[in-house]
Amino acid sequence: MEGLTVFADRHYTYEDYLKLDDRRDYEVVGGKLIVVPRPRPRHQKVIGRLYALLENYLRRERAGEVYPDVDVVLGEEVVSPDLVVISAERLFIVEEARINGAPDLVVEVLSPSTAKLDRKDKSRLYHRHGVREYWLVDPELRLVEVFVRGERDWNRYGVYDEEEVLSSPTLQRLEIKLQEIFEG
């Protein structure tokens, strides 16, 4: 994968991931160990704004919790999505050091080095493990694609640009004015 360091010399697992201690960020997807590059400031600004809006919504609705950049363990694989939402009735999957199971919503903010991984391999992983809703946020194009879990693959729920208000099929009454996310 372009821009990523990928180790595919053997099949890696979550147990292998736990043994790493060199201060780099890793994910294990499809048995491959992936060194994830540090995000850029614009990427982090978009995540921060989305986090604040989701946190306010979830507190107001008492609907669950949002977590940024946390380990999510899905079988033998481990990823650290930009944001995950766990519904109130499923908070039992939140453990001290990780989320053990599929979040209800996963948000990935695309960057040139990770876009292919987020669109293909991680998307398949999330679907296979039962994530209900998946957002791909593109800061360059100022677009958010919202997908809902279908029987065999993701179904596109909507594509929203900076002029529109995003709504979520999973998070009832959530409305995000995307201009607030992408401005500046």
Looking at residue 102, its pLDDT comes to 98
Looking at residue 184, its pLDDT comes to 74
CATH code at 112? 3.90.1570.10
User: Does the pLDDT at position 140 exceed 60?
Assistant: yes
How large a percentage of the chain has pLDDT more than 90? 94
Which residues span the domain enclosing 58? Answer: 39-182
pTM of the model: 0.96
Cβ-based neighbours of 90, under 8 Å, separated by 6 or more: 64, 101, 104
In a domain, 157, yes or no: yes
**Gap between the terminal Cα atoms of the chain:** 30
- The count of domains in the chain is 1
The residue whose two tokens read 């998307």 is 123
With cut-offs at 50, 70 and 90, classify the pLDDT of residue 167.
Answer: very high
In a domain, 14, yes or no: no
In a domain, 94, yes or no: yes
Beta 83-87 vs 105-109: how paired, if at all?
antiparallel
- Residue-wise pLDDT tens digits, 76-130: 999 999 999 999 999 999 999 999 999 999 999 999 999 999 999 999 999 999 9
Q: How far is residue 17 CA from its own chain's centroid?
A: 19
In a domain, 15, yes or no: no
- For the chain, the residue count is 184
